[in-house]
Structure formats: structure tokens, C-alpha cells
Chain A
Amino acid sequence: MIDVLRLRRLSLASAQQWASSLAAACAFCAVAAGGELALPIAIAFPLALGFSVAFGDRVAGKYQWAWTAALVLAVVIELVLVVLGREDPVLAAAQFSVLLCMHRLWHRRNERDEYLLLLLSLLMVCAGAALSAELLFGVSFVAYAICATWALALTHLRFEVERRSEAPRRNVLAPSLLARLAALAVLGLAGTTLLFVGFPRMAFGGLRRHPAASRAVAGLSDQITLSGHGTIADDPRVVLRVQAAKDEDGMKLVGMHWRARSFDVWTGNGWRSRSDLGRRRVLSEAPPMRRDPDWRAKRADVQSFEVEAVAGFSDGVILTPEGWPVSAFFPHGFGGRAPRVFRTPSGDFLYTPLQASDVRYVVNVDRTMANHAELRGRGRDYPPEVAVDLVVPPNLDPRVQALSSRLTARKDPVDAAASVETWLSNALAYSRDLSGESQDPIANFLFRTKKGHCELFSSAMVILLRAAGIPARNVTGYYGGTETDSGYVAIRAGDAHSWVEVYFPGAGFVPFDPTPSAGRGARTEGLWPRAVLAWDSLAQRWSRFVIDYDLVAQSRVLSSVGKGLSRIGDRLRGKQGAATAFQWALPAGIAAVLLAAGAFYAARRKRRAGTHGRTLSGDEARARSLWLAARHRLERSHVAVAPSAGVREAVERIALHVPRARGPVEKIAEAVLAARWGGRPLERREARALLESLDAALR
């Protein structure tokens, strides 16, 4: 029997330790989600956690001086780094909270330590909220909430059971405990909701910081190198989320080209953007075709796309869909720090990069595009600014020149471009396997390997057209996309694509895509890409409903709450005649509830007092308060006395746990019992002296 009880207690204790450790681990994940923690700390915490679980009992309480020294050193280092401007104060505080939590993990001896550990883990979660607000933090936060609730309940249970170890009670899980836990949970939930609804920027955005460095992303770099790569990895990460800004039926979102940058200058084995032109603030600008008298009559088909560039993938480039981008703007103000949008002469849309998580913008695009017939017969009278798009590499392979002449001879530029496009996509094969050849990758692709990826196709087409005297340039961006359940089209890093724009006088640059359509876009099969997509779907909702919950949304929520309240008020007031009755009913009801609560509290107090309404005599009352005071002092020395334990029982227990207090406690017990139940006198002076002797013993 005793063995079983002991085993149970052990398992409860270990369950409690595990729950606390898990809560600490979740808190660490929350703080580490931002990826900014110093590497030593990021490594040390899991180690400390493991050690504390494995050897916690042996090291607890030892090497305190070393810990104190280490913590002081850490404070000094962090302070110096902050003062020197090498480290952010928020990050420094977060790292220090991790250190404190590690320290507490190593010293878990009693109830106080366990509660402190939970408190420190909560501190870490707060630090995590300041460091990052990504979905990973959200998930860690939820996990922490669950584990911390377990830990809280189990910690209470464990120490309650241990306190009553000499007579284990089965009903530790008393209804009052459950009710208190539930009340705590409801209170926490209500408080969090209130905080979130009331102070959204305080909750997540306010203290948030953003890493300055962004990731290198395929499709957005300002330079292209055609050789020297290995195989392009099928990167399933989502970079763009696209949806129609307005509810429009039948709007095509999947299988579109999303243009990022254009490249005009051939570097010998790749491309770079031209840098000879400035850029200007974007204002609404009509497509060049609109200058055409025939086109003016045509109805402009302007569509709005809402594009969300996932954190770290927005490199100051606005991606625009097929068609002429009329304008672009950021619907969310970013707190008055709205980025400025520029348009380069080559048609790229850029914005001043800003430190934010996901960047959302709306692009208005005129989707009316000229067909080949409209482009035909525009001649070869090219303006000087497209001269850079006619530059042919000086050491052009004669075979390329010959092929170009063969494909474009005696053809209108439109037909020439179409013929090159068709030839490339038919005669050559798509392959993601890139050869390591660095000498003239175009000739190598066209005549030797006869297979390659989109950049080779587009580069080959540009070179072939330029060789024929038609201005063309290379364009990068994304192609394709995957429909998701959340109503947006996800475009992945693996969807990076490259195609061609050909210049026609009076019509501007018109896109052509020589890559075989089967080779475009990312591979979306497999478990991993699907998992990535599901995660992204969650992240999108998190970003939309939690992070981007801003002042506008807040005012909307508050006004709807206000409206609801006023509607309830109207209903309560009812008609004009009944108004006075209801006006009285509400305060009266509140008063009744308050009175009932007060009466309940008073009755409970009386019941707790154990006097059943009888007024105690002076000696009795003194004895009672003497015992309560003694019990309180002992509780502070970690000897708790259960309410169901009598005075003598308590004395036995105290003698067992705090032998030095035995004498004073026995004296107190005798005096208390004789005065409380035997009607003996108990002088105030005597009571005070007894209590002082107990204090002295406990000291």
C-alpha cells in the first residue's frame, strides 16, 4: 500500500517536472523563433534542460557562487554590448531571461523554485513576442500555454500531496481546486483577449523588431549567372500569396507570369540590370499602347491583385502580373512609414525596403494586351534608350548568328520573335540539370547539350533576337502557382522563372516565353511541399488575423461591440413606458448580485473561522490566532499543515520535519489547546513570548 502510494507520488513529481520542463522548452522555442539568439545561448539552453532533467537532483543548489558570477558576467557583457550599440536592448533582455531560466532549471528544489521557473518561462515568452511574431512563435506560444497550464496544476497538486504526505488524501483534486484552475484559465483568456483587442500593437507589433538581413531569393536578385550552378533545388517555400483585391469572378490567378526585374546587359555568362537610368516615383501611368489612336477606343481591362510577399522574400521589388502595371500601393500604412513606390524606366516596380514581416501591396494592371497582328508592321525605328537592348556579345559564336539569320530572315520583328520562341520550345528540351560549362553558355546550350532551364531558354532567345537587330531583354520573376484552401494562390521559390521581353515601337516591351510550358513552375507533388503549403496557409491566417490586426480592425471590432451593447441596452429599456422599470432593474440586479456575493463571502469566512457564529472569549481568540500565526510561520519554513490536521498531529509532523522547532511548537500547542478548548487563560504577553521563541528557533 505504502509502496504504491510512494510510486504514485514519484510519478506525480516526475510528471510535474516534465510539464515544467516542457513549458520552459516551449518558452525557449518562442524566444528562439526569431532566430536572433546568440549561438552559445541557443546551444546552452537545450543542454541545460537535458542536464536538469537527467541530473537535476544532484546539482540542485550546488555551485551557486559560480552561477551568480556567470549571471553577473552576462549582465555586464550584455550591458557593454548594448551601450556600444552592438546589440539591441530587447535582444539583450531576451537573452538574459534565457540565462535566468537556465539557472532556475539547475536549481529546482522546492515549490518556490518550480513556480519561479514557470514565471521565468513566461518572461521568455514575452521576450519571444518582442523578438518575433511569426507563426512559429504563435505555435510555440500555444504549446507553452498548454504545458504551462499542466505545469501549474501539477505543481500545485504535487506540493499539496507532499505537504500531506503522512496521510495522503485522495481528493487532492477537490472541486475547489478545479474551480480555481478554471477561473484562472478563464481569467487568463479574458485578459489576453482584452489586451489583444484593446492594445493590438502592444500585444504583438509594438515591441517587434525585424532582422535587417533578408534571404537570397531566386527570381529577385539583380544579377543572373548562367553557369556555375548545380541543380536548381525544388524550393517549396512560399514566397508570394496572390489573390484578387476585389471579388471578381473568373479571374485567372494560376499560371501567370509575375514579373520582378528586367535585365538588359549581357555580362558574358549572365545578365545584369542597366544602371544608366534613374528612377521616378510612380504615378498612375497608362500603357504605351494607349498612345495609339486605335487603342484609345478600347476599354481598359484593369484588374487589381493583392499580393503578399512573405517575410524575407520581399527584396524591394514589387511583382506585377502579366499586363501593364498601372499603379501599385500599400493598403496598410505601416504606422505612417508607408514605403514609397518607384518605377524604373525599364518598367520594374521597386519600393524602399522596409523592416516588416509580410509585405502586402495591391497592384492594378491593365490586362488588355496587344496581339501579334497589332504589333506587326511597326518597323525598326528604335529610340535611343533601347540601344542597350540591341547589344550583341562581341565574341558571338558564328553558329548563333547563322541560326538567328535562319530563323528571322525576311520576317517582321513580331513574326521573327514568334518563330524564335517556337523553335526554342520545340527544338530544345527543358532540364534542371545545369552543366558546369562557363565558356559561352548560350552556344553550349543551343548546339551541344540542347537542353537547359528557363534562364538559358530566355537568354538564348534574347541573344538570337539581338543578333537579328531586334531589341530584347531578359526578365525574371515567377510563373505558375498553387491554389490553396485559404483562397489565395501560393507561389513558391521553386516557381522562379525567366522569360523575354521584345521591344516594338509604339507598343513598348511585349513578353515572350520560349521555355517549354511543361518545364515551367515548381513541382508540387510529395509530402514535403504539401506540408509547406499547409504551414503557409496557417501562417497567412496568423499574419492576417493576428499580426495585421491593426487600428482599423480594432476600431471596427470596438464599434461592433459598442453597437451590440447599445442594442442590448435598447432591448432592456424596451418601450418608452417600461423605460423607468428597466432603468431601476439593472442597478437593482447588480446590487443584488453584489449583496449575494458579499453574503456568500461572509458566510464562508465564518465557516472558515470554525467558530460557527459563536463569539470567542479573549483567551480563546488569542489561542486561535496564536496557533494560526505559528502555522503561518511554519508554512514559510515549508512545513504546511493541512486544515484536516489537528494541533497535536501538526506538532508531530513539525517535529519530524523541523526538529529545531519542536520545543517551542510543543509549548505553543499545549498553551493553545488548553486555552482554546480547556478554558485556561492565555496572557497576551505569554502568547507573544511563545511566538518569539518559535521565531528564534526557526531562525
Chain B
Amino acid sequence: MPAPGPGGPPRPQHYLGHTAVHVRTLAHTFMRGGRGSLALSCQAVIPADVSAPLKALPREIPAEEAQPLTPQEALRLARSLEANVARALRGKAEVIELALAALGANGHLLLEDVPGVGKTTLAHALARSLDLSFARIQFTSDLLPGDITGVSVYEQRSGQFVFKSGPLFANLVLADEINRTTPRTQSCLLEAMAERQVTVDGTPRALPSPFLVLATQNPHEHSGTYPLPESQLDRFLLRLSVGYPEAGVERELLLGGGTEEELHDLRPVATAGDLRRLQAAVSEVRVADEVADYVLAIVAATRSSRFLSLGVSPRGALSLMRAAQARALLRGRDYLEPDDVKALCIPCLAHRVVLAGHGGIRPGLEREATERAIREIAEQVPVPV
């Protein structure tokens, strides 16, 4: 795909009516040095080839840009983003909201579903709507860590090693079929996801901000896969499944000839700066003591549940609160309600726990069983009034 040059269509600089600040998105930066995409099995859909040295990337955003959004602005942002993404992924408002919540909470998403239900479409649409750089990595069993992080190449002219960054250096990374690659490559993602940096040849290199990994895996395929270890699963903020569209939506899709065109026509409605401001606002969402206790009660219940052998970690508890805060903000509130927490229990906690004695359960049903266990826990813990 040819990269749009610097003379591309003019883009609006601010969308939310706040003080006009010239926002230079990472995508712009990347596009400036637009080159071809990386070889191997990774392909960058939106040019992800970054030739510019990493230090040129704004790691920390300027203070005025990090000004948190007000709840009303957040609501407006959420509505416009949701509407935009929904043009490409129809009838999945809930999934889109949760994906936005993950973005807002600065967390990573694990999409677990069968092929062809719109996982990639979701990732594309999000990237386009937010004007973020996007890279897609197709994980295979022969993929090596260097293939995704990048490598140092000897440049004859200068007689020096120059770092050629891999597809991981993008705002939105679609890690497709993450369970098809070896644990070695999977663990390479660990550092990137947790610390938002990669270490190549002993040199740590910061990843762009915002950085969101959107991994997919097919839960029904088991041969030739390497199931993600618990430690890696714990690093995903939410686990979602897109699910089949409803009959009416699917019919529309059939008759309308798919959504590829809409996806292609998607225009950004927000900038990475808006996203950063959203992220800044999330941590300011007010959490009452009782609601925090409610989160703790749910987490404690997973640890003492007889259905689970491994409960939720403190990171899980923090993630649950963060995700719930993001959801509250996206709904135009600057305070957290117990309902936010309860609604996020399954997407946020189900992949972090291990079912007790699940040897007898078919792997395909394990997920259902854990979700049921979490649902029951959520139905048992009294909601603070």
C-alpha cells in the first residue's frame, strides 16, 4: 500500500473544541519518513516502518496536551469514536465501548474469537478513527523476536550499526493469532506490553505512546499452538470476543457487500492527543472507598472460590478498577459506580483466573466455565448501596 505523502488530505487539528494546539500525531511522524513495509511475515498496513531514531518520538507529551478531558468531552469523544468505528463494525457497540475503555485505561486487548467476525476490522477502524499508526503482525511458528522488535543493521556508508525498528513500533499493533508463535517470541511481547519499551542489543528503546497491543487468538484451534501463559494473559487488560453479528446485521452485510469500503473511507475523528487526554482523565475518575472495597471484595471472592484454583492478582484488581474508571468516563461521568465494576468483571477478570480441576473440561469449554465462575462471583458479592 503506498504511503500517503506529506501532501495528503488536510486533517483537522482539534476535534473537541479545546484550546487549539498543534497536534502532530505519530502517524504524521511515521509518514514523513514513509518507506516500504517490513519484509518477513509482518506486514504493516498503515506504514509502520520507522526510520527515524526513537528519540525523535515524543515519549512524554507536553503538559498542556495532557490536560485531562472533562466528562462531557469524554462522552462526546466516545460517541463520535463509537459511531465512527460502528460504521465498519456494525452491531457491536458493546465491544467497541470496551475496546475504547481499554484504550482509555492504557491497556491491551485480547480478542478471542473465531476467524472472520471482525477482529482485524475492529483494530483497523480504531486506528483510523484515532489517527494512530497501525501495524499488523501475523504470528507464525517461525517468527523470531527480532522480526517484531527490529534489528541493528550495519550501514556501510557510515560504518555503523543502525537500528531498523520492527512493526512493534506503532501505536496500535494487531498481533494476529498470537498463540501460533513460540513462547520465545510471545515473551518478547511481555516487555513491550508491560514496560512499553523493547531492548535490542542491550539498548532499551521506548515504544510510541499511546501503545496498544490488540492480540487475537482462535479458541477452537489447538494443534500447533502455544497457549499463552498466565503471566502473559495477566498483562492484557481485557479479553473480549466479538461474536457473530446478529441476523439482521449479517443480512445487511451480505446484501451491502461487506464493510471494506466503509473501513477504507473512515476518517479520523480524534487524535492521539485526545486519547492521551482521555487517558489522563481516566485516573482522575473519583472512586469512593466503598466501590474500591467492592473491587477488593470481588477479587477476594475469586481467591477463595472453590471453582478457581488461581484467583485474581493485585494487577488484576488494579486493572479492573482502571477499566471501570475508563468506562465511567466514556459514559460521561467523573465518578465510578459499582455497576461499572460489575459490568467489567468478566472481560477483565475471566482470563486472569485458573479453573480448579479443569482437567476434565474440554479446552473449548474452559473459557465458558471460567466466565460462569466469575459471573457467579459477581452475582454473589453484594453491591454497596
Contact = CB atoms under 8 A, between A and B. Distances in A.
Interface in A631-651: 642-649
A612 interface: yes
Interface in B360-384: 375-376, 378-384
A645 B376 contact: no
Interface stretch (B110-118, B242-250, B336-344): B336-344
B293 interface: yes
A646 B338 contact: yes
30 contacts: A167-B375, A167-B379, A169-B376, A171-B380, A610-B290, A610-B382, A610-B385, A611-B384, A612-B293, A614-B289, A624-B385, A643-B383, A644-B381, A645-B383, A647-B337, A647-B338, A647-B339, A648-B337, A673-B337, A674-B335, A676-B288, A676-B385, A677-B286, A677-B288, A677-B291, A677-B336, A677-B337, A678-B333, A679-B286, A679-B335
A611 B337 contact: no
B133 to A, nearest CB: 36
A349 B168 CA distance: 115
Contacts of A170: 376
A173 interface: no
Given A644-B379, A646-B337, A647-B339, A612 B288 contact: no
Interface of A: 164, 167, 169-171, 610-612, 614, 624, 627-628, 642-649, 673-674, 676-679
B238 to A, nearest CB: 19
A646 B339 contact: yes
A649 B376 contact: no
Contacts of B293: 612
A543 B203 CA distance: 98
A646 B342 contact: yes
Nearest to A169: B379
Given A170-B376, A612-B289, A649-B342, A677 B335 contact: yes
Given A169-B376, A170-B376, A643-B383, A611 B339 contact: no
A173 B65 CA distance: 55
A659 to B, nearest CB: 21
Contacts of A611: 290, 384
A646 B383 contact: yes
Nearest to A614: B289
Contacts, number: 63
Contacts of B288: 676-677
A548 B217 CA distance: 80
Which of A614, A648, A649, A678 has most chain B Cβ within 10 Å?
A678
Which of A627, A677, A678 has most chain B Cβ within 10 Å?
A677
Given A169-B379, A647-B339, A678-B286, 13 more contacts: A167-B375, A611-B384, A612-B290, A628-B385, A643-B382, A643-B383, A646-B342, A648-B339, A649-B342, A674-B335, A676-B385, A677-B335, A678-B334
A610 B293 CA distance: 9
A614 B379 contact: no
Nearest to A623: B385
B385 A627 contact: yes
A644 B338 contact: no
B87 to A, nearest CB: 28
Listed from nearest, the 9 A-B pairs whose CB atoms lie closest are A678-B335, A646-B339, A610-B384, A643-B382, A648-B339, A646-B383, A677-B335, A644-B379, A646-B338
A167 B378 CA distance: 10
A644 B337 contact: no
A447 B288 CA distance: 111
A648 to B, nearest CB: 4
Nearest to B378: A644
Contacts of B335: 674, 677-679
A172 to B, nearest CB: 11
A624 B286 CA distance: 18
B337 A614 contact: no
Nearest to A631: B385
Interface string B327-358: 00000011111110010000000000000000
A677 B341 CA distance: 13
- B-side interface size class: 20 to 34
Interface in B283-305: 286, 288-291, 293
Nearest to B376: A170
A490 to B, nearest CB: 57
Contacts of A644: 378-383
A614 B288 CA distance: 11
A584 to B, nearest CB: 42
A647 B335 CA distance: 15
A630 to B, nearest CB: 11
Contacts of B337: 646-648, 673, 677
A286 B336 CA distance: 101
A454 B360 CA distance: 79
Contacts of B380: 169, 171, 644
B381 to A, nearest CB: 6
Contacts of A647: 337-339, 383
Nearest to B333: A678
A171 B381 CA distance: 12
Contacts of A679: 286, 335
A170 B377 CA distance: 10
B362 to A, nearest CB: 16
A547 to B, nearest CB: 50
Contacts of A673: 337
A631 to B, nearest CB: 8
Contacts of B339: 646-649
A611 B382 CA distance: 12
B356 to A, nearest CB: 15
A627 B293 CA distance: 20
A679 B286 CA distance: 9
A535 B379 CA distance: 52
Contacts of B290: 610-612, 614
Which of B291, B336, B375, B383 has most chain A Cβ within 10 Å?
B383
Contacts of A610: 290, 382, 384-385
Contacts of B342: 646, 649
A493 B352 CA distance: 80
A491 B328 CA distance: 85
Nearest to B288: A677
Nearest to B334: A678
Contacts of A646: 337-339, 342, 383
A676 B338 CA distance: 11
Contacts of A171: 376, 380
A647 B384 CA distance: 10
A648 B338 CA distance: 9
A627 B337 CA distance: 14
B357 to A, nearest CB: 17
Contacts of B334: 678
Contacts of B338: 646-647, 677
A676 B383 CA distance: 13
Contacts of A167: 375, 379
Contacts of B378: 644
A665 to B, nearest CB: 14
Interface in B36-67: none
Contacts of B376: 169-171
A611 B293 CA distance: 10
Which of A169, A171, A676 has most chain B Cβ within 10 Å?
A676
A612 to B, nearest CB: 6
A644 B379 CA distance: 5
A679 B338 CA distance: 14
A428 B252 CA distance: 107
Contacts of A676: 288, 385
A465 to B, nearest CB: 91
A679 B333 CA distance: 11
Nearest to A613: B289
Contacts of B382: 610, 643-644
Which of B333, B376, B384 has most chain A Cβ within 10 Å?
B384
Nearest to A644: B379
Contacts of B379: 164, 167, 169, 642, 644
Interface string B11-38: 0000000000000000000000000000
